[in-house]
Amino acid sequence: MSKTITPRTYRPAHAIARRPRWQAAPALASGSAHIAEQAYAAELAHTARVRSRGTGTSERKPAAEAPAREQRAVAAVRRVLARGPVRTRLAAESAPATAAALDADTAAQDGAPAIEAVPPGPERSERRRWIALAVLCLGQLMMVLDATIVNVALPSIQHDLHFSQGNLTWVMNGYLITFGGLLLLAGRMGDLVGRKKVFLTGLVLFTAASILCGVADSQAMLIGARLFQGAGGAVASAVILAIIVTEFPRPGDQARAMGLYAFVSAGGGSIGLLAGGALTQSLDWHWIFFVNVPIGMIAFLAGARLIEENKGLGLSGGVDILGSVLVTLATMLGAFAIVKSSEYGLLSARTLAAAGGSLALLAAFLLLESRISNPIMPLRILRLRMLMGSSLVRGLLVTGMFSAFFLGSLYLERVLGYDAIETGLAFLPLTISIAVMSMGVAARFVNRFGAVRTLSAGLTGIVAGLLLLSQQGVHASYFPGILGAFLLLGLGAGASFLPLLTMGMSDAPASDAGLASGIINVSVQLFGAIGLASLGSIAIAHTKALASDGDSLPSALTGGFHLAYLVAAACVAVGIVAAFAVLRPPRRPQPQVVEAPGADDPIRDEEALPQAA
């Protein structure tokens, strides 16, 4: 009768072969299990046999020695697993869930601590994060494209649905009002209930509204759908930056991720001009909305699978409903005053009344938030110097870039006679320049020269580009003047957006990251709308003055654009001064608090604050 002989000899821990990191750990039941796992399982099986047989013969050792053998097997396995970084070794060499269960059972019998379960491999987790970033940027690109792609199709929409010139503005203004009005509330809801939920909800709303816009056959239906679409865009885009910051806490990874986000946000506009012209000319204006449907579906399905959900603060303390209503009404009324100022006049009674009502609601909101225990917007967020200072500088930058983008498009079309596709192609060098700077170049400049110096150099490039545009005449050629101006604008914007994003989010606590993200988005929308309305009014007034003096229409338009470019350059120059005055680095970098998933105590990342000088 054959007898099974259990191995009793243990190899030293250093002699046990390591499995490569890329090789998955096999199951315990397979014949190719790890040597340490085989020894561990064999000792457990032998102990069970000895205990079940009771008193053995002279060939068997007493059952009382079994716990010592188990302890030696456990110690051998732990010595192997203890070598090297914990995360790498556990992912590559530990046993699967079955081994964890066996070890827990042994620990319960003889008091030894159990080996913890193993997290997923770092390579898979790393790939998941970067793919999730691509999904977030895809959603952001869909929002950015919509703003310019619709602007190109406005003449076709006006012809088909018989819009008057006054009602046509609501196709754009309706979107901007709801988008700007819901950014703060959406960002805070991400902190409370989870940013992944908020992002996916926004994608659903935006995609559904795009379908309604595409099938619209009346003015009222299209305007209503655009209001709905703006709400979806605000809900989705308000939390994207917060997700990026929490998913990429390390400075190097965060800089690369934010660079991609900055490129999509800044460079998507010119892509929208080109795509809008192609779709409108080859198909019809309905397809500028239908193109969002497959993009939204892909982003939703991939985001639901890949994006990690944060642990929200919860709604157990109640919801500040009155504060939510006040801040939404205040921002919507303010957005209404801004977008209609070009029609009513910047200093008209209607514009001033709407702006005054918005300020009154905002004051009531701030007073309410200071007196309740669970505000929708904790006022401590307004004391974050880097967040508020970078929002101011970003607003001045956006004023210059919006003037170059929108007034530059009008200059190319109305003065130089470009069509929609030619205008989109003309802006491609600007987009490519932003891409080059965003894909690592700006991050290297920040690491070498500091965030403020890199930012000031970028703003100087924008000023130079605007001044060069102000010198282009009625019969200007694209090369070298216009091309050089667009290259300077693109390089300057690409060098500026990344340090502004990193500095803006550097002192925001993880629990308020969604609200901080919403404030950054509001600064872009608010300053962009105010700057565009103001510069547009300046250009129109100067054009009328020149035309009344006998200048031709192209010459008068060019003169109006030139004055607007000069004012925009002055605004960006003020931004350079503000960057050195407000964004000066602290003497000792303050560590950022990053909440570890499932941990009670936060982790302090000493490298989270970017180098500012």
Return the residue matching tokens 């400075």.
251
pLDDT of residue 79: 61
- What is the model's pLDDT at position 577? 92
Query: What pLDDT was estimated at residue 40?
Result: 58
- List the chain residues with pLDDT less than 70: 1-124, 165-166, 267, 269-270, 273, 276-277, 280-281, 312-319, 339, 342-343, 346, 585-613
Kindly state the DSSP code that residue 478 receives in the 8-state scheme: I
In the chain, the domains with their CATH numbers are 13-110 (no CATH), 120-319 (1.20.1250.20), 377-613 (1.20.1250.20)
Contacts of 84 (CB under 8 A, 6+ apart): none
Q: Dihedral through CA 573, CA 578, CA 581, CA 582, nearest 10?
A: -160
Beta carbons of 321 and 309 less than 8 angstroms apart:
no
Rounded CA separation 377/46 (Å): 63
Give how far Cα 160 sits from Cα of 5, 172, 286, Å: 88, 17, 11
Res 229: pLDDT: 92
Pick the closest to residue 72 from 5, 114, 10, 6 (CA basis): 10
What pLDDT digit, counting tens, does each position of 169-189 carry? Answer: 778 777 877 887 788 888 888
DSSP single-letter state for residue 19: P
3-state secondary structure at position 593: strand
pTM over 0.75: no
pLDDT attached to residue 458: 92
Structure tokens at 175: 């979107």
pLDDT at 63: 45
List beta partners, residue 594.
603
Half-sphere exposure of 380 toward its Cβ, with a 13 Å CA cutoff?
10
Chain centroid to CA 305: 18
At residue 153, the pLDDT reads 77
DSSP 8-state secondary structure symbol assigned to residue 480: I
Q: What pairs with residue 604 in β-bridges?
A: 593
Distance, in Å, from the CA atom of 254 to the CA atom of 510, rounded to the nearest integer, reads 14
Nearest to 327 by CA among 383, 371, 366: 366
Q: Which of 49, 113, 42 is nearest to 75 (CA)?
A: 113
DSSP helix/strand/coil, 604:
strand
- For helices 513-548 and 385-402, give the axis angle rounded to 10 degrees: 30
- Listed residue (474, 472, 501, 504) closest to 488, CA to CA: 472
Q: What is the pLDDT of residues 525-550, one digit of tens each?
A: 778 777 777 787 788 888 888 888 88
What pLDDT shows up at residue 178?
82
CA distance 502 to 610: 7
What is the DSSP annotation of 411-436?
Answer: IIIIIS---HHHHHHHTHHHHHHHHH
Q: What's 600's DSSP letter?
A: S
